[in-house]
Chain A
Amino acid sequence: MRKEDNFSLFGLYLRRFFSYLVLIILTLLCLVPFYVLFVNSSRSHADIQKGFSLLPGKFLITNYKSLLLDKNLPVIRGIANSFIVAASSSLLSVYFSSLTAYAVHAYDFKLKKLLFSFILMVMMVPTQVTSLGFIKLVREVSFLKNTYWPLIIPSISAPIVVFFIKQYMETALPVEIVEAARIDGSHEFSTFNRIVLPIMKPAIAVQAIFSFTSSWNNYFIPALVLAEVDKNKKTLPILIAQLRSADFLKFDMGKLYMMIALSIFPIIIVYLILSKQIVSGVAMGSVKG
Chain B
Amino acid sequence: MKKKLLSLIFVMVMIASLLAACGKADDETAADDKNTADEGKVLNIWCWNDEFQSRVKDFYPGYEHNDSTGEGKIGDITVKWVITPNENNAYQNALDAALLDQKNKAADDNVDIFLIEADYALKYTDSDYTMDVKKVGLTDADMSEQYQYTKDIVTANGKIKGSTWQATPGLFVYRRSIANEVLGTDDPAEVQKKLADWNKFNAVAADMKASGYTMLAGYDDSYRTFSNNVSGPWVQGGKVVVDDNIMRWVDQTKEFTDKGYNKKTTLWAPEWAAEQGPEGTTFGFFYSTWGINFTLLDNSLADAKAAKEVGNGIYGDWAVCQGPESYYWGGTWICAATGTDNVSAIKDIMLKLTCDKAIMKKITEVTQDYTNHKAAMNELANSDFQSDFLGGQNHIALFAEAAPKIDMSNISPYDQGCNEEFQGAFKDYFDGNVSKEEALQNFYTNIKVKYPELTTN
Contacts and interface: CB of A to CB of B under 8 A. Distances in A.
In the complex, is A directly touching B at CB under 8 Å? yes
B359 to A, nearest CB: 24
A247 interface: yes
A114 interface: yes
B90 to A, nearest CB: 7
Nearest to A230: B82
B86 A251 contact: no
Contacts of B86: 245-247
Nearest to B27: A142
Contacts, number: 77
B432 to A, nearest CB: 24
B67 interface: yes
A72 B50 contact: yes
Contact of A247 (B4, B85, B104): B85
A140 interface: yes
Contacts of B303: 46
A142 B5 contact: no
Given A46-B303, A231-B84, A247 B268 contact: yes
Contacts of B4: 114
Interface centre among A50, A72, A118 (most CB of B within 10 A): A72
Contacts of B20: 137, 141
Nearest to A44: B303
A50 B270 CA distance: 13
Contacts of A248: 49-50, 85
A250 B49 contact: no
- Give chain B's interface residue range (CB within 8 Å of chain A): 35 or more
B98 A228 contact: yes
Contacts of A147: none
Contacts of A187: none
A66 to B, nearest CB: 8
Contact of A142 (B1, B26, B270, B274): B26
Contacts of A253: 270
Interface of B: 1, 4-5, 8, 20, 23-24, 26-27, 30, 49-50, 67, 70, 82-88, 90, 93-94, 97-98, 104, 268-270, 273-274, 277-279, 298-299, 302-304
Given A49-B274, A118-B5, A250-B273, 10 more contacts: A46-B302, A114-B1, A141-B23, A142-B23, A228-B93, A232-B70, A246-B86, A246-B87, A247-B87, A253-B270
18 contacts: A49-B277, A71-B50, A71-B70, A111-B8, A137-B20, A139-B97, A142-B23, A142-B24, A142-B26, A142-B104, A227-B94, A232-B70, A248-B49, A248-B85, A250-B268, A250-B270, A250-B273, A252-B304
Interface of A: 45-46, 49-50, 71-72, 111, 114, 118, 137, 139-144, 227-228, 230-232, 242, 245-253
